[in-house]
Structure 1
Amino acid sequence: MQKKDYINQIEKLLPELPDYVNDYYHAKRSIPLSLTTLYHYLSTFQQFFDWMRTTKVTGAASNRDITLSDLENLSLTDAQLYKEYQLNRPRLNTKKENNGLSKSSINPSLSALKSLFKYLSSESEGINGKTLIARNVMEKIPLVKDGRTLQTRARTIGKKLLINGEAQVFLDFVDKEYAKKITAHQLAYFKVNKVRDLAIIALFLASGVRLSELCNLNLSDLHLDDEVPSIKVIRKGDVEDDVLLRIRFLHYIQDYLNQRPTLYPGSDNLDAVFVTARAGKVTRINTSTVETLVKRYSAAYGKPFSPHKLRHSIATDLYEKSGHDTQMVQTQLGQKSPNATQLYMHVSETRQENILKDL
């Protein structure tokens, strides 16, 4: 979603939530937290308040009626039950039953609630100069541990990366071989979008941007003709960043830009770099469409992966070819913490072990 879309969604959520959540929102907006983060936080609060009313933890008739006292007096047992509910409730958009949310899905929700309770108990100020609540039960609720070492994660992720020249092999597969593996109906759709899809994959591999950053790109953000080609993206926290590009994949992107007006009539009226057409209407491409196309091509390639693995791929290549310069990787990917780059160190070490076995 674009900034205006998040604002629209937030404006729909806020009237359904208590006034103290509105105060929280404006306090965090001034830091600022990104609109993306705040939207997901507010959605989490809405879900948590729904659960409180459904389980009769509160007698409030609506989420907006949930009081500060309800939160201040929330028992540790009830807080733990909510975490257990998150761990065990069925996942959305799946036919599998009794399949709890992944740890990566639960922790952002818990972090959101921790942020709200911390604000209410230590950062807020009421009329009397005191914080809005005196007790923070969420301090006692730990995040869910991953249960895997970085080495284990590296071994798993390393099998799904396009490194050491395989990125070009994958692009060649999509360009020349994929059409042989699909039906006539699928082929018609593929022919329309092939040039765009190659450009999307190429831009991931050329930049290491996040999925949302790619989808939110505007034509005015592209600086492909500069001496050092780059793109402008809005990172987490609404931070603007210039991302340098890997030159070897730029021709896929330029080819798409040249054909964009012909492939998607009406796209001249849109600033979005990547667009899609449905029922004659051209719109900005969304994250689910990009996720679907990457998974479809990678599955046909025989190595199913998500767009995030393309980000891991350039990071691993950069880590190795820069002489293990973690700061360079951190800068390229827009990561605030150097700890995030440790994964690529372990992926590199795992690759080295495998290469030594073959020597």
Structure 2
Amino acid sequence: MAEYQDCPDYLKEFLFYILTIRGRSKRTVDAYYIDLRTFLRYIKCVKIIKQDPDNQDDFSKIQIKDISIEDISSITLSDVYAFLSFAANDRDNNAKTRSRKVSSIRSFFRYLTVKSNYLKTNPVENLEVPSIKKSMPRYLTLEESLELLTRIESSNYERDFCIVTLFLNCGMRLSELVGINLYDIRENTIRLLGKGNKERMIYLNDACQNAISAYLDVRTPPNNEKHRDALFLSSRGTRITPRRVEQIIADCLRQAGLEGQGYSPHKLRHTAATLMYQHGNVDIRVLKEILGHVSLSTTEIYTHVSNTQMENAAKNSPLSNVTPVKKRRAPKVSKSD
């Protein structure tokens, strides 16, 4: 926790709590730290030193270590809403970013009141989360996915083919893929370590098993004991990094003529989920477990992208073949008749 030395003790305790007790990842804890540091800098500006927070140079230099718990106890719900307005108008934070900040602030005050008793009352108990417009996830079509798999050219072909195959068939996250160890693979299953260090097991289809087998046949064991168990290795014999995987996927997309369309490893995860739902008749609850989602509402977005299923539903309606009856019309009678 040395990197959080600029924090007051109660904030360091909170960050340590969510890392060790709540089991959040280091990346998540860092995000909490950045959000709450920005929030406390704003509070110090407007409530303690009475300084204009709009000056970005001065704002980034504000120290928060001396903000006391008494200062925190004086924060009101109005102060938090003012901060969110500042984040939107002066720091160009979109609704998704502000929603994350709200989550950080709510968790922080919940800890101060419920878990540690630093505060007697929670000023943000009724703090609402900014509404976020859900966008449809981008994904490759079945044809584009097949094109991607058949166009891979690389000096590490077996490794790169295996990486793309796992993304497109298993819907795993980038962090999950680079974290796979050899002992995580057992017959037709693989163990993944997801968000919050939560483990889940998914099944491997024939394509995945064949791709893994072909890669293991040419994989050179590293000399470094630290990386001995890593499934995917770099050319230097070390565990492959997320950035290197992103570069590999970018190269594969370019070879398939799919570059410049916003695709990424995360979009391949979306592709796997969409293809499972569209073509595999996968129940949404099963899909939730495969993807490692905490909430079913996160998975339900894939029910809105299945145009094929909606089209088939319309075609298969029991009334889909009803046609209008052409009736004989009575001849018109002119007034002269």
Partner of 2:99: 107
Aligned identity (percent) is 26
Partner of 2:234: 276
Q: What are the within-5 Å matches in structure 2 for residues 146-165 of structure 1? A: 146-148=132-134, 153-154=135-136, 157=137, 160-164=138-142
Q: Tell me how far apart the structure 2 counterparts of residues 296 and 51 of structure 1 sit (CA, whole Å).
A: 43
| TM score, norm. by length of structure 1 | 0.71
List per-residue Cα deviations over 1:129-187 (Å, max 9, x = no partner). Answer: xxx12443434543222234xxxx33xx3xx4234454222111234xxxxxxxxxxxx
Q: Tell me how far apart the structure 1 counterparts of residues 205 and 86 of structure 2 sit (CA, whole Å).
A: 44
Q: Tell me how far apart the structure 1 counterparts of residues 90 and 241 of structure 2 sit (CA, whole Å).
A: 27
Q: Tell me how far apart the structure 2 counterparts of residues 201 and 135 of structure 1 sit (CA, whole Å).
A: 51
Q: Pick the aligned partner of 2:245 from 279, 290, 308.
A: 290
Task: Say yes or no: does 1:301 pair with 2:279.
Answer: no
Q: Tell me how far apart the structure 1 counterparts of residues 273 and 183 of structure 2 sit (CA, whole Å).
A: 26
Task: Say yes or no: does 1:38 pair with 2:29.
Answer: yes
Task: Say yes or no: does 1:252 pair with 2:211.
Answer: yes
Q: Tell me how far apart the structure 2 counterparts of residues 89 and 260 of structure 1 sit (CA, whole Å).
A: 51
RMSD: 3.3
Equivalent pair of 2:288/2:296 in contact (CA under 8 Å)? yes
| TM score, norm. by length of structure 2 | 0.75
List per-residue Cα deviations over 1:306-358 (Å, max 9, x = no partner). Answer: 2222122222222234435112111111122222221111111x234567999
Q: Secondary structure at 1:232's aligned position in 2?
A: strand
Q: What are the within-5 Å matches in structure 2 for residues 324-339 of structure 1? A: 324-339=282-297
Equivalent pair of 2:278/2:308 in contact (CA under 8 Å)? no
Aligned length: 300
1:58 to 1:351, Cα distance in 2 relative to 1, 3 A = farther
Task: Say yes or no: does 1:169 pair with 2:169.
Answer: no
Partner of 1:117: 109
1:200 to 1:88, Cα distance in 2 relative to 1, 3 A = farther
Q: Which amino acid counterpart does residue 15 of structure 1 have in structure 2?
A: Q
Task: Say yes or no: does 1:218 pair with 2:181.
Answer: yes
Partner of 1:143: 129
Q: What residue ranges of structure 2 are gaps of 5+ in the alignment?
A: 50-60, 317-337
Equivalent pair of 2:76/2:124 in contact (CA under 8 Å)? no
Q: Which amino acid counterpart does residue 178 of structure 2 have in structure 1?
A: C
**How far is the alpha carbon of 1:109 from its aligned partner?**
2.8
Partner of 1:320: 278
List per-residue Cα deviations over 1:102-135 (Å, max 9, x = no partner). Answer: 443332232112100122133322xxxxxx1244
Q: Secondary structure at 1:275's aligned position in 2?
A: coil
Q: Pick the aligned partner of 1:242 from 179, 196, 201.
A: 201
Q: Secondary structure at 2:231's aligned position in 1?
A: coil
Equivalent pair of 1:276/1:284 in contact (CA under 8 Å)? yes
Q: Which amino acid counterpart does residue 62 of structure 1 have in structure 2?
A: Q
Q: Secondary structure at 1:310's aligned position in 2?
A: helix
Q: Secondary structure at 2:119's aligned position in 1?
A: coil
Q: Tell me how far apart the structure 2 counterparts of residues 319 and 162 of structure 1 sit (CA, whole Å).
A: 13
**How far is the alpha carbon of 1:79 from its aligned partner?**
2.3
Q: Tell me how far apart the structure 1 counterparts of residues 111 and 37 of structure 2 sit (CA, whole Å).
A: 17
Equivalent pair of 1:298/1:304 in contact (CA under 8 Å)? no
Q: Tell me how far apart the structure 2 counterparts of residues 345 and 46 of structure 1 sit (CA, whole Å).
A: 38
Q: Pick the aligned partner of 1:232 from 166, 191, 203.
A: 191
Partner of 2:5: 15
Q: Tell me how far apart the structure 1 counterparts of residues 301 and 93 of structure 2 sit (CA, whole Å).
A: 23
Q: What residue ranges of structure 1 are gaps of 5+ in the alignment?
A: 1-10, 91-99, 126-131, 176-190
Q: Which amino acid counterpart does residue 87 of structure 2 have in structure 1?
A: Q
1:83 to 1:283, Cα distance in 2 relative to 1, 3 A = farther
Equivalent pair of 1:32/1:238 in contact (CA under 8 Å)? no
Give 1 or 2: higher helix fraction.
1
Q: Tell me how far apart the structure 1 counterparts of residues 248 and 93 of structure 2 sit (CA, whole Å).
A: 24
List per-residue Cα deviations over 1:11-63 (Å, max 9, x = no partner). Answer: 2234332221233245445643323333432343334334445x354459732
